[in-house]
Chains A and B, each alone.
Chain A
Amino acid sequence: MRFESVPRAGTSRVLEILAPALSLLAGLAAVGLVFLLKGLNPLFALGEIFRSSFGSVFGLTETVTKALPLILVGSGLALTFQAKFWNIGAESQLLLGAVFSTWVGLTWGPSLPGPVIVPLMFLAGFLGGALWGMIPAALKIRLGINEVISTLMLNYIAAELVKFLVVGPWKGASKHGYPYTDDLPAQAILWLFPGTRISPILLVLAPAAAATLTFLIFRTRFGYEVRVIGENREAARYAGIDFFRTSLLFMAVSGGLAGLAGTGELTAIHHHLSYPDTLSAGYGFTAIIVAWLGRLNPLLVMVSGVFLAGIIVGGDAIQMSLGLPAVTVQVFNGIILIFLIMGEFFLRNRIRWVRRTPRHG
């Protein structure tokens, strides 16, 4: 006996929605199993996660705080994944955005008013992420270098660059030996809703980016060409699509959005450049799951972004309340991603169980 997978002729709309929902449930069940092994009641632990992230005003504001960078990065990743360009380097694009903004903020911040310096910093953040993102695109199209490897490796380079800056040339004079840059001047720091860490600017920017990206992917010529490249490279060549230009462009947009998230983290929350893992709680990686869970549609990414932000917040909470190790959230995310990918497979293929064909002849 063996199993055989057969591509499904068509997938119904019900199935399209049911598949990720069921995968999510199955993933949560698997996560529950992990809790069970730790001697915890899985239902209680899972309940605790969602209670602490969605069940209180404080939890909810924290969830939104973390959802905004996830939506920014996830929308951009949805674009590159539509082209089947596996950008695993959003984390480094985010960091480069923060680096560029820091430079602009520290250099010109003291002499420029807020309404000028803040847009400039966001612009610089976009530029930093975009330039960093265009490197792997150029490497792939011109030299055939696999983008998974190059984007992944650029993460390490960016992280080391940030570390070098904060302990070396950019080390803050006022920070007494801590690996931080100086704080940004007050006019370069975003105003937050009182009692929260949510900036109204980011609260508008993230959904606006998601809406723009939806339009870009599904309504523009550029989005059409991106989808043709992703679905059939040979046909894209036949159709006269310029791979080099298009790839540079979508990686500039994707990297740029990650860069914006970096600027947001910097100016709204940290106020100075610091160690890479302080600056970003792995948003560049979590956003990969966000993009897939949102079925590569930025409008749905807004929903999945909030959901995964909830898991991060809830995970942090149960670390403390239930005494679980810090990596719990990552285990959680990893399991969910694997189940989502499996769900996608089962959505596209039907599994048949065949007995060995009787031999004839």
Chain B
Amino acid sequence: MARIRTLEMRDIVKDFSGLRANDGVSLKIEAGEILGLLGENGAGKTTLMNILFGLYRPDGGTILINGEEVVFRSPRDAMQRGIGMIHQHFMLVQKHTVLENVALGFEKAPFFFPLRQVRRRLAEFSYRFGLAVRPDEPVWKLSAGEQQRVEILKALIRSSDLLIMDEPTSVLTPRETAELFDILKRMSGEGHSIILISHKLDEITRICSRVQVLRKGKVAGEAPMGEVSAEDLARMMVGRRVADSYPKADLPPGRVVLEILDLEAQNDQGAPAVRGVSFEVRENEIFGIAGVSGNGQQELVECVTGLRRASAGAVRLLGREITGLSPRQIHNRGISHVPEERIKFGIVPNLLLYENAVLKRHHRQPYSIRNIMNYPAIRRHAGDLVKSFQVATPSIYSPMKHLSGGNIQKLILGREISADPVLMIAAHPTYGLDVGASEYIRGQIIARRDRGGAVLLVSEDLEELFMICDRVAVMFEGRIMGIVDPRSGSFEEVGMMMAGAVEAAGGEATDAV
């Protein structure tokens, strides 16, 4: 089959149950190019690439290779036409050796003694592209960088001309990143094309020959690398400010409620995720944390709520140390928490609404008295929540899983607000909700602030943060890049920090109030 000289995607449309993930996206790449695909989470980058790799079928639009239309029914079709994809999470069999992983699913391998032939080819490719791997080592012993090289070799041996890499550097050390970029340059020199999905500006500028930016499912811009500045890209990525702020009472911030000092924590893989974060949240204040998800926000919130142990630093609530306390102790001291992934963490789908209405507070009076649940009081409380937080449900006896996402979130928010917390933490509270529900929830968060509450709001939605926050901190790779006042700060400034391109001068000193 002919090598890929040009590949074109034209007017690709893809809907996910009413949500348009790709809206008329076109993309073109030629042999030897490294194309950077830039955009925030949810901009549609991964969806577009999954379509190119045959994982999804587009609802509209066409794909052309060398000017000729192709239809991919599955990744197998795409691979046969020379397209390879390396996912963020590697698809390797951990207990098998490198060689076995490469041979697995390699169609040209002979039926008998496949490894002998594959070993030869592996050595050949690994020499040609400078991809050092140890063929007989089991995969679980390899570093992330080495595993990635195995994935690249797998694609190359299957004669992939076009390689799609989804956030390839997110698991790599800076040294491994540099090595990867050398390999990619070598590949492009041999006529391979590469599409690099990323949200990191510096990487795109370092390696790509051309860049295309997606925003909210559409193409926001496209240019050869030399013709755009990092500022241009940041602006294309985050867009313009459209909405106005919500009305807020004009209140000066009160006493310090939450104080975080040089906090450090590791993620589940043991890699540093929060790297020396300090800030404080006051009464009458909504403190926002912006950033592409996966930059330590989740670990930060988990440290404050007691779900994760900090490896260094301190968390104080009203001047008292709460670092290392259990989630229950921290809740008892007055921190309430609207968790991200609300269905996974925030509710018990198979229990009834009223049983969910006291989750996390079920151990306190009046909901349980001396270890006996007080269901009449619980049902009364559930009824009040449903009424005052406009939860649409047939009754408080409905299983929680029958409620829509927006109504689940209203119940969680109501539950957490009604505890009258000293500090409320809300992580991505409007993610995936419709406009009406989002507005309602933002209004409730502001009402909490206006009544003297302190709110820590983590969100990926910059518009939302600018609309309701009093201050917005930007997290990138576990650090706070700067703190911005939404009234005077600009989207571009925050966009640059989110992509790790600038560290605001003075960092925490931009504490403008």
Supposing A9-B402, A361-B71 touch, asked if A235 and B327 sit within 8 A by C-beta, the answer is no
B351 lies within 8 A of A239 (CB): no
A234 lies within 8 A of B344 (CB): yes
Count class of interface residues, chain A: 20 to 34
The distance from the CB of B411 to the nearest CB of chain A, in whole angstroms, is 13
A221 lies within 8 A of B327 (CB): no
B337 on interface, CB distance cutoff 8 Å: yes
B371 touches which of A222, A227, A237 (Cβ 8 Å)? A222
Supposing A359-B73, A361-B58 touch, asked if A221 and B362 sit within 8 A by C-beta, the answer is yes
Count class of interface residues, chain B: 20 to 34
B residues near A220, Cβ cutoff 8 Å: 368, 371-373
With contacts defined as CB atoms under 8 Å apart, how many contacts are there between chain A and chain B in the complex? 76
Tell me the residues in window 375-401 of chain B with beta carbons closer than 8 Å to chain A beta carbons. Answer: 375, 399
A227 lies within 8 A of B351 (CB): yes
The distance from the CB of B272 to the nearest CB of chain A, in whole angstroms, is 23
A359 — nearest CB in chain B belongs to which residue? B73
Tell me the residues in window 349-366 of chain B with beta carbons closer than 8 Å to chain A beta carbons. Answer: 349-351, 355, 359-360, 362-363
A237 — nearest CB in chain B belongs to which residue? B307
The distance from the CB of B165 to the nearest CB of chain A, in whole angstroms, is 26
B345 on interface, CB distance cutoff 8 Å: yes
Tell me the residues in window 220-240 of chain A with beta carbons closer than 8 Å to chain B beta carbons. Answer: 220-225, 227-228, 231-232, 234-235, 237-240
A240 touches which of B350, B360, B399 (Cβ 8 Å)? B360
The distance from the CB of A79 to the nearest CB of chain B, in whole angstroms, is 15
B372 lies within 8 A of A231 (CB): no
A228 lies within 8 A of B372 (CB): no
A residues near B326, Cβ cutoff 8 Å: 240, 242
Supposing A240-B328, A361-B58 touch, asked if A221 and B363 sit within 8 A by C-beta, the answer is yes
A38 on interface, CB distance cutoff 8 Å: no
Supposing A237-B307, A239-B359 touch, asked if A224 and B373 sit within 8 A by C-beta, the answer is yes
Supposing A221-B371, A221-B372, A231-B351 touch, asked if A238 and B362 sit within 8 A by C-beta, the answer is no
A residues near B359, Cβ cutoff 8 Å: 228, 235, 238-239
Question: Which secondary structure dominates chain A's binding surface?
Answer: helix
B337 lies within 8 A of A238 (CB): yes
A219 lies within 8 A of B372 (CB): yes
A231, A239, A359 pick with most chain B CB within 10 angstroms: A239
Task: Tell me the bound Cα distance from A237 to B307 in angstroms.
Answer: 7
A169 on interface, CB distance cutoff 8 Å: no
A234 lies within 8 A of B345 (CB): yes
B349 lies within 8 A of A232 (CB): yes
A238 lies within 8 A of B339 (CB): yes
A10 on interface, CB distance cutoff 8 Å: yes
B57, B58, B351 pick with most chain A CB within 10 angstroms: B351
Task: Tell me the bound Cα distance from A231 to B328 in angstroms.
Answer: 19
Tell me the residues in window 436-463 of chain B with beta carbons closer than 8 Å to chain A beta carbons. Answer: none
The distance from the CB of B333 to the nearest CB of chain A, in whole angstroms, is 12
Task: Tell me the bound Cα distance from A55 to B346 in angstroms.
Answer: 53
- Interface CB pairs A-B, < 8 A, 15: A10-B399, A10-B402, A220-B371, A220-B372, A221-B363, A221-B371, A221-B372, A224-B373, A232-B344, A232-B349, A232-B350, A237-B307, A239-B360, A240-B326, A241-B328
Q: A219-B372, A232-B344 are in contact. List 9 more A-B contacts (CB 8 A).
A: A10-B402, A220-B371, A220-B372, A221-B371, A227-B351, A232-B350, A238-B327, A240-B329, A240-B360
